[in-house]
Amino acid sequence: MAARGIGRMRTLTRKGVTLKDVAAAANVSRATAARALNSYGYVGDETALRVIEAADALGYRANRVAQALRSGQLPIVGYLPGDIQNPFFARIAHDLEVELRKHGHNLLIASSEEDVEQERELLESLRSLSVRGFILAPTSATDNQHILQLAREGAPIVLIDRVAENARCDSVLVDNEGGAREVVDYLVTNGHRRIALLRDDSRIFTAQERLAGYQHSLQAHGIELDESLIGVSRSTVEQAIEATIRLFTRRNRPTALFTVDSLMTQGALLALRSMGLSIPQDVSLVGFDDFDLATFTDPQITVMAQPIAEIGPLAAQMLLERLAGKKAAPRLKRFPTRLIVRGSVSHPKKR
């Protein structure tokens, strides 16, 4: 009966053994209990032991919200990728989470879905949550007052995959321009001159850089830029299919296609097949960003690979250093990319 009564009490009081309870159980003040549990200041050995035992017995766990109110910060880092469904960002999410957890932080993931307005709101929302820092792939290269503002207020921010103009933040990028240039160089070397580009919203930093690489390469080879060969699409398989079809339903169609991310590459694959165009006989294809199934398709897809395994861990480390109070000037790390030649490029047919 007694046991049942206690059980019910537990249930009713719901959650929350507080420091006060522990202090009462150990017959000391809250201050002393706190000292014993967090080992600072003076506490008698015997007292400390009593407190710790009481805490154990009651199953005490500090309320992190209360701690956060006092310290001004939750042990949470916010991650704002462009789209968590993109394997690139999902992989980074995983790596960040592993790294941050080692240091007692949780990762709060909120996808901006490539919408500046949503990015702004999410950032605002996380700010009012007093998260400790941000790891962010800015949706826009230019429209980012909100990010500059946050940085100005001293919030620890690490930008990944993309930079924001004028932002004084640590950044982790890849060499988009160089990678794109190398892709187009490679296609030109293989005899292509009508090379289509399928890219995402021009607001996005990587899209700009990859476009620049495309343009520079063409220019270097004396090939005139044909705007009609540049397709724009959102970064989803579905939208990429439509955009690809638009690019290839025209007279004098391109002999090669360069897609700027893995979801688009997949969309292009599907679209080309549905149009009865075979790779690489009818169209050569190179994608930016490698993906698991690139070696499953027939032919296997040639890609410009990013060192994805290094981005998350480095970003996490940079952020942790900032959280630890590092004051140095912002650091920008730009990883090289690597062309992986498989079977999706050949010389164009003579027509």
Partner DNA sequence: TAGCCATGTGAGATCGATCTCATATCGGCC
Partner DNA sequence: GGCCGATATGAGATCGATCTCACATGGCTA
User: Which among 4-12, 42-50, 136-144, 274-282 is the span making contact with DNA, rule CB under 7 A?
Assistant: 42-50
69 contributes a contact to a second copy by CB under 8 A: yes
* 63 lies in the binding site for DNA (CB under 7 A): yes
**Locus of tokens 């949470």:** 76
| Identified binder of DNA from the candidate list 49, 57, 69, 341, rule CB under 7 A | 69
Residues 232, 200 contacting (CB under 8 angstroms): yes
| 283: three-class secondary structure by DSSP | coil
Q: What is the DSSP pairing of strand 338-340 with strand 302-305?
A: antiparallel
Is residue 67 a contact residue for DNA (CB under 7 A)?
yes
58 lies in the binding site for a second copy (CB under 8 A): no
- Select the residue interacting with DNA from 42, 224, 327, 328 (CB under 7 A): 42
To the nearest whole angstrom, how small is the minimum distance from the Cβ of residue 65 to a second copy? 5
Among 20, 61, 168, 326, binds a second copy (CB under 8 A): 61
H helix runs in the chain, sequence order = 2-13, 19-26, 30-38, 45-58, 64-71, 87-102, 116-128, 145-152, 176-189, 205-220, 237-248, 262-274, 308-323
Quote the Cα angle for 31-36-38, to 5°. Answer: 95
| Other C-beta atoms lying within 10 Å of the C-beta of residue 301 | 28
Total length of the chain: 351
- 125 lies in the binding site for a second copy (CB under 8 A): yes
Binder to a second copy among 18, 47, 106, 317 (CB under 8 A)?
Answer: 106
Contact of residue 49 among a second copy, DNA, none (CB under 5-8 Å per partner type): none
41 binds DNA (CB under 7 A): yes
Q: Which does 293 bind (CB under 5 to 8 A by kind): DNA, a second copy, none?
A: a second copy
Distances (CA, A) of 36 to 53, 54, 71, 90, 112: 11, 11, 19, 41, 43
> Is 118 a binder of DNA (CB under 7 A)?
no
CB 128 within 8 A of CB 155: no
- Contact (Cβ atoms closer than 8 angstroms) between residue 307 and residue 265: no
Q: Is residue 239 within 8 Å of 197, Cβ to Cβ?
A: no
Q: Does 66 bind DNA (CB under 7 A)?
A: yes
Name the residue nearer to DNA (CB basis): 37 or 188. 37
Question: Residue 329: which residues within 8 A CB-CB, separation 6 or more?
Answer: 168
Q: Which does 32 bind (CB under 5 to 8 A by kind): DNA, a second copy, none?
A: DNA
Where along the sequence are the contacts to a second copy (CB under 8 A)? 11, 14-16, 61-66, 68-69, 72, 74, 76, 83-85, 87, 90-91, 93-94, 97, 101, 106-111, 124-130, 152-155, 237, 266, 269-270, 273, 292-293, 295-298
Where along the sequence are the contacts to DNA (CB under 7 A)? 16, 18-20, 27-32, 34-35, 37-38, 40-45, 47-48, 60, 62-63, 66-67, 69-72
